[in-house]
Amino acid sequence: MPPHRLALALAVGCLAVVAGLGTCALAPEGSASEISELAVTSLGLEIFLALAALAGGLLSRRSLAARLGLEPARVSGACLALLVLGTLGMSHGLDGLLELSGLRERSALVEFDAALAGAGGKAFWLALLGIGLAPGVGEELLCRGLVQKGIEPALGPGRAVVVAALVFGMLHGDPIHGASAAILGLYLGTVVVLAGSVRAAILCHAANNLVAVTTAAHFPEVHTPGLASALAGLAVAAGCLWAVQRRRSGGVWGAGGPGQPAPGGRAAAAGEAPPPTARRTIGLQPKAGSDDP
């Protein structure tokens, strides 16, 4: 490893500690600012996780974007929208099952809901930043970027998804919340595999948390779904994954990228001669004197 990469990684690691602790120290104290304190503390933790992931990525010989899986997603915008919808469905379904089983009342999620209920003004915007947006960046860079993409070459995509999900669950501390987060982590890890990029998981995670914060603050009654609603959420999540996988493997796009068919299309797959435009695409130019235009 080049010495300058190691030095930069150490510098970013030190910055992670200083920035994380410094941000947490800014958290206001007192019952009147409970949600602001929670939001700023969360922001400090996520800054630390994000910078720690970047420091770990710099220890690799590969580019930082390649090591952390931050290349552009290899799916269309419509597929990304489906993956976000599926994340919301999975989160809704898991939350509903926790509520129906009575486990939610024994988890840290209850305190989270109580602190956010009725939040407005500066406190609400801090919550959107520290609890909504920041975890989508920090936790995904660490779990899906540093961990999942790092061990994937050795363990394969499936096992890497599971290990990263377990790490993701442990980050949440509380056993019940952590178990639910680990299951959601399986979904987010699958998103990375399907999309070919951690950017997709960041988008899904951030969207889910922003919706959760807004719902807890202004629509607390949505946190009490029935069994049918919870199962419908899980069905939506499974359906979205299936739809994206089908679009990826069904020839919706090929070597030309999203939205571009594979050179030669079905004719090439069947052993038939591709049309003139396809021959030009794959470099089979007609010989001189041919009747092809």
Share above pLDDT 70 across residues of the chain, in percent, rounded to a whole number:
82
- Per-residue pLDDT at 273 exceeds 60: no
74, part of any domain: yes
Min mean pLDDT across 110-114, 142-146, 194-198, 214-218 is at: 110-114
- Give the model's pLDDT for residue 32: 57
105, part of any domain: yes
- Per-residue pLDDT at 270 exceeds 50: no
- Give the model's pLDDT for residue 224: 66
- Per-residue pLDDT at 248 exceeds 50: yes
Q: What's the chain's average pLDDT?
A: 85
Overall domain count for the chain: 1
Average pLDDT on 80-108 reads: 93
285, part of any domain: no
80, part of any domain: yes
Confidence label for 31 from pLDDT (cuts 50, 70 and 90)? low
149, part of any domain: yes
- Give the model's pLDDT for residue 114: 85
289, part of any domain: no
- Give the model's pLDDT for residue 111: 84
30, part of any domain: no
Supply the angle between the helices 227-249 and 175-195 in degrees, to the nearest 10: 20
Confidence label for 158 from pLDDT (cuts 50, 70 and 90)? very high
CA distance 198 to 68: 7
| Identity of the residue numbered 126 | L
Min mean pLDDT across 103-112, 136-145, 171-180 is at: 103-112
219, part of any domain: yes
Q: Please tell me the pTM assigned to this model.
A: 0.83
Task: Show the domain range for 228.
Answer: 70-248
Confidence label for 34 from pLDDT (cuts 50, 70 and 90)? confident
- Per-residue pLDDT at 177 exceeds 80: yes
- Per-residue pLDDT at 221 exceeds 80: no
Q: Which residue did the predictor score with more confidence, 104 or 208?
A: 208
Share above pLDDT 90 across residues of the chain, in percent, rounded to a whole number:
64
